[in-house]
């Protein structure tokens, strides 16, 4: 059985109650979305419409300026926005990023926290929805803001 993206929130709710449950959830993410899993960010809080992730600084995601690479930050923001959004999905909803913008405020060094809070718009036909994730360092300084435009739709019965 394949875990549907709309089941992620339920999986988190079930696993977080168990010792090492969040570690298992973070491990499973690597199989659901291998590219995002390669970032090795950890989901630390996950509620309806809200996601909080941590990214540990490590050599594999650094750039030539000895800070975390811009694309790693972009991936972290997209990951946070996607989790917050899909936690609100019904079984027949789907979404895909169609546009991403990132603004940088400070060099990213050390452990980072990405947070995203969103709501699901009311829609019956395909629509676009902008979701923002903010990334901060351990001194609570804003490092970057990632804005992801998601195309949302409903699956057809035969898909």
The number of residues making up the chain comes to 159
* pTM > 0.85: yes
Please say if the pLDDT value at position 2 is more than 60. no
- Average of pLDDT values for 87-109? 95
* CA geometry: angle 39, 139, 99, nearest 5 deg: 40
Is residue 63 predicted with pLDDT exceeding 50?
Answer: yes
- Tell me how far apart the alpha carbons of residues 106 and 96 are, in angstroms, rounded to a whole number: 28
Summarize pLDDT for 104-159 with one digit per residue, the tens.
Answer: 999 999 999 999 999 999 999 999 999 999 999 999 999 999 999 999 999 876 55
Residue 28 pLDDT grade (very low, low, confident, very high; cuts 50, 70, 90): confident
- Position 61 pLDDT exceeds 80: yes
| Alpha-helix runs per DSSP H in 57-123 | 70-86
Secondary structure (3-state) at 122: coil
| Range 5-154: architecture per CATH | Roll (3.10)
DSSP class of residue 4 equals: P
As beta bridge partners, residue 150 has 97, 129
Three-class DSSP category at 36: helix
Q: Which of the residue ranges 34-43, 47-56, 110-119 would you say has the lowest mean pLDDT? A: 34-43
Q: Give pLDDT, residue 1.
A: 40
Using CA atoms, how far apart are residues 31 and 131, in angstroms rounded to an integer?
Answer: 24
What does the pLDDT read at residue 145?
98
Q: What are the strands, taking DSSP E only, across the chain?
A: 42-47, 50-55, 93-104, 112-117, 127-137, 142-154
Radius of gyration of the chain (CA): 16
């Amino acid at each position: 059985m394949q875990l549907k993206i709309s089941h992620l929130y339920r999986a988190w709710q079930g696993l977080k109650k168990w010792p090492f449950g969040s570690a298992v959830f973070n491990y499973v993410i690597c199989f659901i979305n291998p590219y995002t899993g390669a970032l090795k960010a950890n989901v630390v809080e996950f509620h309806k419409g809200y996601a909080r992730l941590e990214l540990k600084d490590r050599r594999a995601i650094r750039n030539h300026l000895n800070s975390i690479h811009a694309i790693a930050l972009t991936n972290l923001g997209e990951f946070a926005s996607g989790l917050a959004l899909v936690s609100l999905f019904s079984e027949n909803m789907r979404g895909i990023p169609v546009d991403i913008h990132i603004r940088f405020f400070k060099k990213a060094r050390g452990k980072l926290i990405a947070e995203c809070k969103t709501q699901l718009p009311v829609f019956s036909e395909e629509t676009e929805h902008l979701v923002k994730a903010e990334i901060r360092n351990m001194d609570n300084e804003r490092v970057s803001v990632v804005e992801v435009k998601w195309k949302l739709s409903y699956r057809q019965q035969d898909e």
